[in-house]
Chain A
Amino acid sequence: MAGKVVKGDLDSRIFNFINMSLLIIFTFIIIIPIWNVIVSSFSSGRSLAEGGFVFWPQEFSMENYRAVFRDETIWQAFFISVAKTVIGASTHVLFCAMVAYAYSKQNLRGRKLYSALGIITLFFSGGMIPTYLLIKSLGLLNSFWVYIIPALFSFFDVIILMNFFRNVPKSLEDSAKIDGAGDWRIFWSIYLPLSKPALATIALFNGVGQWNDFITTKLYITDQALYPLQMKIYEIIVQSQTNTMQNIGGSVVIETTARGVQLATIVITTLPIILIYPLLQRHFISGMMLGAVKE
């Protein structure tokens, strides 16, 4: 499809050479900083403080990781992160799919009004403070469900799923209707199984969003037991910025700088994303195409 193989003439060869060189530089600009963080997280506190390495730690050490895992709250934060990601993404995609199924039917009574209601939410919102007051009056402050319930629905995802549902062949539905199946049944046993790629795309993106989400915790949660990993990192950052050499928890070896712990926590938090990255990559190009490109 792409990649117009133009070989031969000098102009083209110079172009290819410069293009390739610039892209290789670009790739290094992306990779080296990430690699540097990984390497730094395996450095001893002393060599972190001294610096002087880019590709390989001067003094290899696991002390940062040991310090991170000695802190029991990190396991709790990990559990919260996993729980909010799994529960959040699966309920979000099912809820949106249900609504999108109804929206996808042209004969839906009141469809115009419902669409208008949805489209307005794309362009206008109450903003931070009115939303906070709502969450507060719903009693969701310091509750695990604040991660799940307000994130159940997104009209944007509904539009994407609706466009996908429109391409499901009508004949399947018609024959099911003749057999006496209602909309719920058709949705559950025809549309959902046929839309697995779209559902997986939305669920993956929503899951990454949940895993990386930090604002929700910052705004609505003060109970440390409900902190996810992202909030843990934020706390460590704030702490280490006020006092770089401060010990975490008091029982930690002296050389472990707060920065080392910060880096190790960052690597641990990002690892799941890297692990599902191949899966993500397979989905996101098709996912972007689903919603965004009009032909």
Chain B
Amino acid sequence: MGKNNVEIKEKKPLRPRFKRFFKDFKNQWELQSMIIPGLIFMIIFSYIPMYGLLIAFKQYTALDTFSTAPWVGLKNFQIIMTDKFFWEAMVNTVAISLMKLAIGFIAPIILAIMIYELHDGPIKRFMQTISYLPHFLSWIVLGGMLITWFSTTGLLNQTLMAVGLMDNPQNYLLDAGKYWWIATLSDIWKEVGWGTILYLAVMSKIDPTYYEAAKIDGASRLKQIWHITIPSMKYIINLNLILAVSGIFGSNFDQTLVLMNTQNQEKAEVLSTYVYRIGMTQGDFSYATAVGLGMSIVSLILLVGAHKVTKRLNEGQSVL
């Protein structure tokens, strides 16, 4: 038997493998029938749009179909280079993202450590509950709230005037110079508590004997945090950093759309809303796609780059 099989394999190497594949496939038709809808879904809703990215190299207008639109090569990408509005949006995107990264990345770590240092009990649970809540507000809802808080009769002006820090109320959202801060701080307000969950989960697994030993050695609470708590979170901090860095060109779409107005547009427009404006409002599909494609390629490069850097810092251990 065994000998025969080998001989057949040597003569026609592919047929038995195919045959076996189809036989297995038929035997597990139930399993395959469960996964095939998922594959069809991905082909339609992920891979067809990826193929559709080709219109970035075409001149696609509402009059053309995908196949009749003429190829223009890299022309759309050349236009990007001299497009003043694109670079404005680029600067805003990078600036806002870097501010969010600088403050918004560290804030949840600090908050998580502070919550972790509380004694277990209702106060701790209450604070956690409150801190997660803003995450579940949509940006549209939060945007509406922000407009109220920042209006001339809103909460912020009232507070600042009551404390005596200000004499005349102003509408902060109409002040383009303040927009980057508003975008950054409101995002942190929304997400800082939610960002603590993973850190708290990791911290709950730290062996308490470390702290006991440190205490016997006379280490202060801050020293314990620095030498025990933070090193224990190295892995998850790295992972979050990679994801945050690769998201620098990412969306902010909802937030920008709801907070942007004619007064602050030059500082508020980000790449995703720019793609929306030229693609959906002005109908220049090809150019908008070129901008979007450029954006996701740079994001991918950042992801790989950040992964490489943290890998080196991590003594060659991959985080992803």
Per-residue CB proximity of A93-108 to B under 8 Å, as 1/0?
Answer: 0010011011101011
**Most A CB within 10 A of own CB, among B46, B149, B153:** B46
Contact (Cβ within 8 A) A132 B197: no
Contacts A128-B272, A155-B42 given; indicate if A102 touches B35 (C-beta within 8 A).
yes
Residue of A nearest to B319 (CB): A294
Contact (Cβ within 8 A) B292 A127: yes
Bound-state CA distance A155–B308 (Å) is 25
B154 within 8 A of A: yes
B134 within 8 A of A: yes
Residue among A50, A117, A133, A219 making CB contact with B39, cutoff 8 Å? A117
Bound-state CA distance A128–B32 (Å) is 31
A143 within 8 A of B: no
Residue among B48, B153, B221 making CB contact with A11, cutoff 8 Å? B221
Bound-state CA distance A27–B28 (Å) is 55
Contact (Cβ within 8 A) B198 A292: yes
Contacts A233-B140, A237-B140 given; indicate if A187 touches B153 (C-beta within 8 A).
no
Contact (Cβ within 8 A) B296 A103: no
B116 within 8 A of A: yes
Contact (Cβ within 8 A) A215 B253: yes
Residue among B28, B31, B53 making CB contact with A127, cutoff 8 Å? B53
A178 within 8 A of B: no
Nearest chain B CB to A286 CB, angstrom units: 10
Contact (Cβ within 8 A) B153 A219: no
Contact (Cβ within 8 A) A2 B116: yes
Contact (Cβ within 8 A) B130 A270: no
Contact residues in B for A102 (Cβ distance below 8 Å): 31-32, 34-35, 38
Bound-state CA distance A184–B51 (Å) is 34
Contact (Cβ within 8 A) A51 B154: yes
Residue of B nearest to A126 (CB): B49
Contact (Cβ within 8 A) A36 B34: no
Contact residues in A for B106 (Cβ distance below 8 Å): none
| Interface set, chain B 112-141, CB cutoff 8 A to A | 114-121, 124, 126-127, 129-134, 136-141
Contact (Cβ within 8 A) A125 B296: yes
Contact residues in B for A101 (Cβ distance below 8 Å): 34
Contact residues in A for B116 (Cβ distance below 8 Å): 2-3
Contact (Cβ within 8 A) B24 A109: yes
Contacts A33-B149, A152-B41 given; indicate if A266 touches B279 (C-beta within 8 A).
no
Contact (Cβ within 8 A) B49 A15: no
Contact (Cβ within 8 A) A23 B279: no
A-B pairs with CB below 8 Å: how many?
273
A90 within 8 A of B: no
Q: How many residues of A contact B (CB 8 A)?
A: 100
Contact residues in A for B222 (Cβ distance below 8 Å): 15
Bound-state CA distance A150–B44 (Å) is 9
**Most B CB within 10 A of own CB, among A34, A150, A214, A262:** A214
Closest CB pairs A-B (n = 6): A126-B49, A51-B153, A130-B52, A99-B38, A212-B138, A3-B120
Write the residues of chain B forming the contact surface with A, with a CB cutoff of 8 angstroms: 21, 24-25, 28, 30-35, 37-39, 41-42, 44-53, 55, 66, 111, 114-121, 124, 126-127, 129-134, 136-141, 143-145, 147-149, 151-155, 157-159, 189, 193, 197-198, 200-204, 208, 211, 215, 220-222, 236, 253-254, 257-258, 261, 272, 275-276, 279-280, 285, 288-289, 292-293, 295-296, 300, 303
What are 12 A-B contacts defined by CB distance under 8 Å?
Answer: A95-B37, A109-B24, A109-B32, A125-B50, A130-B50, A130-B52, A155-B42, A212-B139, A230-B141, A266-B145, A281-B132, A285-B201
Write the residues of chain A forming the contact surface with B, with a CB cutoff of 8 angstroms: 1-6, 11-12, 15-16, 19-20, 22-23, 26-27, 29-34, 36-37, 40, 48-52, 54, 95, 98-99, 101-103, 105, 107-110, 114, 117-118, 120-121, 123-134, 138, 150, 152-153, 155, 158, 182-184, 187, 208, 211-215, 218-219, 230, 233-234, 236-237, 241, 259, 262-263, 265-266, 269-270, 273, 277, 280-281, 284-285, 288-289, 292-293
Besides the known contacts A128-B279, A152-B41, A293-B198, 12 further A-B residue pairs in the complex with CB atoms under 8 A apart: A19-B118, A30-B193, A32-B155, A48-B153, A109-B21, A127-B49, A127-B53, A127-B293, A129-B292, A184-B33, A241-B147, A266-B145
